[in-house]
Amino acid sequence: MKTKERIKSKIDNQKSIGITGTGFYVPEKNLSNFDLEKKIETSDEWIRTRTGIKNRRVASGREATSDLAYKAGKKALSNANLKASEIDLIIVATLSPDMLFPSTACIVQHKLKAKNAVAFDISAACTGFIYGISMAKSLMLTNNYKTALIIGAEVFSRIIDWKDRNTCVLFGDGAGAVVLEKAQNEHNILSTYLGSDGSGAILLNQPAGGSKIPASHESIDKGLHYLKMDGGEVYKLAVEIMVKSVKKVLNQEGLDENDIDILIPHQANIRILKKVAMKLNLPIDNVMMNIDKYGNTSAASIPIALSESVMEKKIKKGDIVVLVAFGAGLTWGASVIRW
C-alpha cells in the first residue's frame, strides 16, 4: 500500500482531529529596511543578506496582542464556518501577552463572545503554536471538546530595543490562527513531537518584568525589559534541532523526508531555513517562506505561514505538511499533517 493511502486508511479508523479553518492578521503599518536605515546604523543590504527580511509589520499604539489574536481568530472561525459560541477551547501562544494576568486567551474569548470556551495561554516562545495544537489535540481526544481555536500572536515591537540593530531588525508583529474539529477525515494532525532544554534559557530571554527582576527604575535604565539573544548560538542549535525534530515526527508515522510535500518552518532567518532544507534534501520550493514580508513573528510565525499557504493554494489535498519550530526555553517541536 502506498504511504499516503496507508495513512488515510489509518486515519479513517481512529478518532481524528482536523484543521477546518485558518486565518491571520498583520498590522497595517509596514516598517521596511529602508525605514530602519533612518533610525539605526544598518542597511537594507546588511539585513537582507543576513536574515532574508525586507519588511515587518508593527502594531499601532491602539493595538495589543489580544487585538491581533482576535482578528486572526475571527478569520479562522469564518473560514471554518463556525460561530464563536461553538468553540469549546481557546489556546493563545504568545511571549508578549497584554499583561501577565489574566491570560490573553481569556481576553480574546471575551472579544469573540466565545462564552462556552475554556481559555488559557501557552508560553513556549516560537514553538508555542506547535505546543498549542499538540495540547489541543490531546484535550479534544480525552475530554468532551469538539472544537478548538489555536492562536499564535505577538506584538514584539513592545519588547525589543530599537537601538540594538542585532535584534530590532529581526522581529515583527502579527497573529495566525487555526480551528480544530474532532472526527475530521481531512487536514488531520497525525503526530507531534515536542522538546525542551532549560539549560539554554540564557541564550534567548527577557530578563526583567517577572518575579526575579521586578520592574524598577534600575531595571528599565539597564534595558532589562527588552529581548536579549545570543544570535550565533541560537543559529547553530536551531538548524540541528529543527532537522532532528522533522525526522522524529516523520518517523512516528513511518515516513521520511522524501514524503514531505511542504515544510512550514518557523520564520526565524532565511539562512536557517535554507540550511534545514539542505540537510533534509528538500527542494527549496517545497519550503514555505514569507520571512521577507513579516520578519520573525515568534509564535505567530507558523500559523501565518500556514494560513498564507492555504490561501495561495500551495497545499493540495492529500499533501504531507510538516510544521517545525525552535525557540526560547529552549523549546522545539514538529507536527505532521495529512492535508
Q: What is the pLDDT of residue 1?
A: 47
Q: What is the pLDDT of residue 5?
A: 59
Q: Point out the catalytic residue in the list 79, 126, 187, 269.
A: 126
- φ, ψ of residue 277 in degrees (nearest 5): -60, -45
Cα–Cα distances in Å, from 226 out to 10, 144, 159?
47, 41, 5
Q: What is the pLDDT of residue 186?
A: 84
What pTM was computed for the model?
A: 0.94
14 pLDDT tier (thresholds 50, 70, 90)? low
13 pLDDT tier (thresholds 50, 70, 90)? very low
Please give the Cα distance from 187 to 63 (Å, whole number): 32
Residues 267 and 245: beta-carbon distance below 8 Å:
no
Q: Which domains are delineated in the chain?
A: 15-185 (3.40.47.10), 190-289+299-338 (3.40.47.10)
- Mean pLDDT, the chain, rounded, equals 95
Q: What is the pLDDT of residue 177?
A: 98
Please give the Cα distance from 228 to 222 (Å, whole number): 12
Annotated active-site residue 266? The verdict is yes
Residues 155 and 65: beta-carbon distance below 8 Å:
yes
Residues 87 and 57: beta-carbon distance below 8 Å:
no
Q: What is the pLDDT of residue 275?
A: 97
Annotated active-site residue 185? The verdict is no
**Which residues pair with residue 322 across a beta bridge?**
263, 336
Judged against a pLDDT cut of 80, whether residue 10 lies above it is answered with no
Judged against a pLDDT cut of 70, whether residue 20 lies above it is answered with yes
Q: Point out the catalytic residue in the list 33, 168, 266, 269.
A: 266
Q: Helical H runs in the chain?
A: 3-12, 33-37, 44-51, 65-79, 104-112, 128-142, 165-168, 217-221, 231-251, 270-279, 291-294, 301-311
- φ, ψ of residue 30 in degrees (nearest 5): -105, 135
Residues 207-240 pLDDT 10s: 999 999 999 999 999 999 999 999 999 999 999 9
Q: What is the pLDDT of residue 240?
A: 96
Residues 68 and 173: beta-carbon distance below 8 Å:
yes
Please give the Cα distance from 302 to 235 (Å, whole number): 18
Count the alpha carbons within 13 Å of 100 in the hemisphere toward its beta carbon.
Answer: 6
Residues 276-315 pLDDT 10s: 999 999 999 999 999 999 999 999 999 999 999 999 999 9
Q: What is the pLDDT of residue 246?
A: 98
Cell numbers for 231: 544570535
Q: What is the pLDDT of residue 185?
A: 77
Judged against a pLDDT cut of 90, whether residue 3 lies above it is answered with no
Q: Which residues contact 38 (CB under 8 A, 6 or more apart)?
A: none
